[in-house]
């Protein structure tokens, strides 16, 4: 029998949103510098986070 995971707190949600924004920034900067492989890794890392959604207004290319 598995124990259910606790619901994420507001602090956890804020931390995840901050990480998503940082990864979006890293991805954009990597693309700007021509480091496409690094940009793909940043996008992959963002896709592995729980929730898998970027905060409103951010873009993951």
Q: Angle at CA 24, nearest 5°, toward 28 and 52? A: 140
* Structural domain span for residue 21: 10-48
Angle between helices 36-48 and 10-33 (to 10 degrees): 170
pLDDT band (50, 70, 90) for residue 56: low
| Position 21 in a domain | yes
Q: How many domains does the chain have?
A: 1
| Position 58 in a domain | no
Q: Looking at residue 24, what is its pLDDT?
A: 94
C-alpha–C-alpha distance, residues 15 and 41, integer Å? 20
| Position 14 in a domain | yes
| Position 54 in a domain | no
Q: Looking at residue 27, what is its pLDDT?
A: 96
Q: Angle at CA 33, nearest 5°, toward 28 and 37? A: 75
Q: Looking at residue 6, what is its pLDDT?
A: 58
Mean pLDDT across 4-9: 62
What is the pTM for the complete model shown?
Answer: 0.64
């Amino acid at each position: 029998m598995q124990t259910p995971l606790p619901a994420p707190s507001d602090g956890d949600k804020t931390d995840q949103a901050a990480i998503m924004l940082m990864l979006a920034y890293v991805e954009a900067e990597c693309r700007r510098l021509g480091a496409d492989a690094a940009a793909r890794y940043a996008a992959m890392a963002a896709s592995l986070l729980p929730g898998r959604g970027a905060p409103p207004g951010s873009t993951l290319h």
